[in-house]
Structure 1
Amino acid sequence: MIINDVLGGAVRNNADWCEAMCRAHGLSGTFGPRAWTSAARTPLYYPDAVTLTEDADVEDVLSGIDRTTPGASVKDSYARLDLAAHGFRLLFEAQWIARPAGLPAPRTSGDWRPVRTPDELTAWALAWSGDDADDAALFRPELLADPATTIVAGYADDGRIIGGAVLSDSGAVTGLSNLFATGDTDPSVTWAGVLAAAPADRPLVGYESGDDLPPALAAGFTATGPLRVWLSA
């Protein structure tokens, strides 16, 4: 796949993951020709709209979301929209990343495997959230029944969770999101562990920003393009 193909795959994969998270919360979004949108407010940290193409415009995203209450957000996948005039502020900027299929995973430590049970998911979500029960409630057991979603946890010898991530299968690519390391675990350990658990026969895609980007690049990912997330007042 050339970079543009991988970028388009990453964008669609991320929208698919947003839809999967919405389904786990009893919601359903809409895939239009240029944007995915949710008419109901989406779960915590998840956008109400995701642009799917470079030519998506303001109307494509704002016409399909609830703006009657504050807090609507838009993932501008190609960093091409200016939503400031519509009452939004730029929340953050990031880089899409991709890792080619077939690259060997770095060496890692710990036992990295899929989360299978609701109790394991609860423990994973609390580790992901830093023991914030409200944030941890984002990850519902319904996700375990989604064949496209694999939640990966890394365990130390004493059973402690040392890191984890979510893998989202969309056929051409596998999305990687919600990656975290706990305590004094080096992020490179989590990157290596998740890579070892991920399918090796297709590109891995996702996005990172700030201090989280260099460890991804060190793990074999390449930045493929910018994105922006906008938040309404």
Structure 2
Amino acid sequence: MTTSGPWARAAARNNAEWCDTMCRAHGRGAGAFGDRAWTHPRRTPPYYPDAVTLVPDAATHDVLDGIDRRAPGCSVKDGFATLDLTGHGFEPLFDAQWIHRPAAAPVPPLAGAAPWEPVRTAAELAAWETAWSDGHPMGLFPPVLLADPATTVLAGRAPDGRIVAGAVVSHSTAPDVTGVSNLFGTDPWPGCLAAITRLRPGTPVVGYEHGDDLTAALRHGFAATGPLRVWVSTG
């Protein structure tokens, strides 16, 4: 099912809120939430868009008027793959699908693995980012994130205590969903979903994936709910 219905809108809103959290964590200040899009006037942290559309009928001006299009690496997350930005100095970077997993869906078995736990300290967060980045951390996840009530950084550990898997989960209240991003590790969904069920019981889970990662999410009880496209500036 790829109809860009209410769960796609919920996922887009949750993702925009997470992008806004990252901007504030990096000292860039809050972005602007409009009826049709979230935008930020300053260049956002690496891997994070300068705008996210929140509804399928968002127009080009809803995103381009609120961002710094001159900044290198400027990007737009077209949350419903409905915009054409080719005439405005952008080109498609990749397409993906929003995903949704009902709150009542059964949690996959952990098969003996240790439960994932929240990261609590700056040192643990640094170790988490090192694992997430395959040993090439860049300070993308500031320790101030650990104090954000809507954000939880989850870590899965090997028997020797090393962080070998993880994710960031972000909670939204309108509607009530938990979003997953920055998922990594070998078959990470069982550990991630078990932790979400324990920490945020009764909340649906949303996010987005593409390629083999989308296939894995669908195998673990998610449904694809609508397309999205990320555009990047060619300037």
- Band the TM-score falls in, shorter-chain normalisation: over 0.9
Match of 1:138 in 2: 140
Return the match for 1:196 from 189, 194, 197: 194
Letter in 2 for 1:228: R
Give the CA RMSD over aligned residues. 1.3
TM-score in terms of structure 2 length: 0.92
Unpaired stretches in structure 2, ≥5 consecutive residues: none
> Counterparts of 1:69 and 1:143 in 2: how far apart (Å)?
25
1:28-177 → structure 2 map (5 Å cutoff): 28-108=30-110, 109-134=113-138, 137-171=139-173, 172-177=176-181
Q: Judge conservation of contact 1:6–1:203 (CA < 8 Å) in 2.
A: no
Q: From the superposition, tell whether residues 157 and 113 of structure 1 become closer, same or farther in structure 2 (CA, over 3 Å).
A: same
Match of 2:219 in 1: 218
Question: In structure 2, the residue corresponding to 1:173 is in which secondary structure?
Answer: strand
Q: Deviations over 1:161-220 (max 9, x none)?
A: 120001100021100110001xxxx32xx1000000002301100000011111111111
Q: Judge conservation of contact 1:103–1:200 (CA < 8 Å) in 2.
A: no
Q: Deviations over 1:113-158 (max 9, x none)?
A: 0001101100001100111122xx1000010010000010001111
Q: Judge conservation of contact 1:47–1:72 (CA < 8 Å) in 2.
A: yes
Q: Judge conservation of contact 2:4–2:80 (CA < 8 Å) in 1.
A: no
> Counterparts of 1:179 and 1:164 in 2: how far apart (Å)?
6
Letter in 2 for 1:99: R
Does residue 8 (structure 1) correspond to residue 6 (structure 2)? The answer is no
Letter in 2 for 1:180: F
Unpaired stretches in structure 1, ≥5 consecutive residues: none
Question: In structure 1, the residue corresponding to 2:42 is in which secondary structure?
Answer: coil
Misfit runs of 4+, over 3 Å: none
Letter in 2 for 1:7: A
> Counterparts of 1:220 and 1:154 in 2: how far apart (Å)?
20
Match of 2:24 in 1: 23
> Counterparts of 1:5 and 1:150 in 2: how far apart (Å)?
24
Q: Judge conservation of contact 2:99–2:224 (CA < 8 Å) in 1.
A: yes
TM-score in terms of structure 1 length: 0.93
Q: Using the TM superposition, give the Cα deviation of residue 104 of structure 1 relative to its aligned residue in structure 2, in angstroms.
A: 2.1
Count of residues paired in the alignment: 224
Q: Using the TM superposition, give the Cα deviation of residue 3 of structure 1 relative to its aligned residue in structure 2, in angstroms.
A: 7.6
Question: In structure 2, the residue corresponding to 1:138 is in which secondary structure?
Answer: coil
Letter in 1 for 2:122: P
Q: Using the TM superposition, give the Cα deviation of residue 4 of structure 1 relative to its aligned residue in structure 2, in angstroms.
A: 2.3
Indicate the percent of aligned positions where both proteins have the same amino acid.
59
Question: In structure 1, the residue corresponding to 2:213 is in which secondary structure?
Answer: helix
Letter in 1 for 2:184: F
> Counterparts of 2:137 and 2:207 in 1: how far apart (Å)?
26
